[in-house]
Amino acid sequence: MASLTSKHKFHTPNSVCTRTHQVGALALVVATFFVTRIFDQSFNSCNYPYREVKRSFVDNGGSISWPDRGYGFDLFLKIYVYDEREIDGLKELMRGRNGKITPESCLKGQWGTQVKIHRLLLQSKFRTLEKEKADLFFVPSYVKCVRMMGGLNDKEINQTYVKVLSQMPYFRRSGGRDHVFVFPSGAGAHLFRSWATFLNRSIILTPEGDRTDKRDTSAFNTWKDIIIPGNIDDGMTKHGATLVQPLPLSKRKYLANYLGRAQGKVGRLQLIELAKKFPDKLESPELKLSGPDKLGRTEYFQHLRNAKFCLAPRGESSWTLRFYESFFVECVPVILSDQVELPFQNVIDYTEISIKWPSTRIGQLLEYLESIPDEDIVEMIARGKLVRCLWVYASETEPCSATLGILWELQRKVRKFHQSAETFWLHNRSIVNRNLEEFHSWKPPMPLP
């Protein structure tokens, strides 16, 4: 039997690789690459026709990019927003038992994010009106504002939430995994006393990451929940002339300031005592909530801008609005809250724009701050200006906003497969309950876990 080499004998003169062959081969590789890319893009656009928002955007001279890993290259969410008229009880969570509380009255204060996020999602290009196509479901509620204004008491809030949830087949289907709630104050989800029973799998948007100081458990879970920025006065976040303009560093009277009430908290009391000891370095006036000595919003920011460092100690809870406000008067925030959680941590390097100091070493703080050169302070302020747009609750059409940040974080929380202890499925992929009733036949009110 002839060998392979003898049967397929190579003829050297005919197999010489000329420059023409090399150029042709290279052109074939390049053409194949571009055809593959075009096909891939066409395929993706067919599968995700609403992929429009890129993960990189620029504002104020800086670039902010969400990492591809875990988030995807583009935003391609579909969010269903419940209407207050479609579920009995939802209107009460937004307007109180008598329906007299208006959304406009709830825009100010820390509960304002409940209204702002709701309104922004209603206008979002990622909103869908078809439940069966939704990745996530947003449940609007202004319950913190309603409670503060006497619209519902704690017992009524609890009962009304349970009543609302029992009318949501999609909440039942997933056990709440694909439902989003906003709890914007220091109390977090504890405003709904039975949150641990009913919302322990739901996505909670909150500025609050820790409440274990007063309760046995925290309502924040890093796996499923999202930290959002606090609600800063709109007069400081708008484009153009803001309520108060920052002062040049050389014209600031104080090294640091703390503008807040003591509330009996050890760290805050220490700062007030330190201000009495070093009144030329640390400003810490006793703030009044009412009366002739109460600081108006303009006066408040005029005080806040008059220091190089703005101190943000914990109060009733671990977070503080002063952290976010400091970026708009251009002072360096100093976090004095050991358990604090901060928003968008996969995007922002907080070591570049802030200082976190041990709350047990407040007595040594001023000495440390005095040692920091002005050029380092200027650099930190400049870097902070590049990311502060992420604290602003503006339209997703803006180049940078808290809204975009929240949408990116929500996309990371999307689970393609939903199940609960009360959800079952059959060989034909139909979803059924314990009585083997198909999903489209589920009738409210439904028993909840």
Q: pLDDT tens, 32-64?
A: 544 444 444 443 433 333 334 455 555 555 667
Task: Label residue 184 exposed, middle or buried (CB < 10 Å: 0-12, 13-18, 19+).
Answer: buried
Residue with tokens 């969570």: 93
Q: Per-residue pLDDT tens for 285-296? A: 777 666 666 778
Indicate the SS3 state at residue 307. strand
pLDDT band of 24, cuts 50, 70, 90: low
Domain made up of 234-392: CATH architecture:
3-Layer(aba) Sandwich (3.40)
pTM recorded for the entire structure: 0.84
Q: Phi first, then psi: give them for residue 62, nearest 5 degrees.
A: -120, 160
CA distances to 94, 184, 189, 307, 420 from 157, in Å: 11, 15, 12, 42, 24
Exposed, middle or buried, 382 (CB in 10 Å: 0-12/13-18/19+)? middle
User: Is the pLDDT confidence value at 4 over 50?
Assistant: no
Contact 39, 46 (CB under 8 A): no
Element (H, E) at 6: helix 4-7
- Lowest-pLDDT range of 118-127, 170-179, 215-224, 394-403: 215-224
Residue 23: which pLDDT band, with cuts at 50, 70 and 90? low
Q: Could you count the other beta carbons within 10 Å of the beta carbon of residue 443?
A: 8
Single-letter residue type at 302? Q
pLDDT category of residue 108 using cuts at 50, 70 and 90: confident
Beta strands in 258-411 (DSSP E): 282-283, 307-313, 332-336, 355-356
Sequence ranges of the domains in the chain: 74-231+406-441, 234-392
State phi, psi for 96 to the nearest 5 degrees. 85, 170
Residue type, 285: P
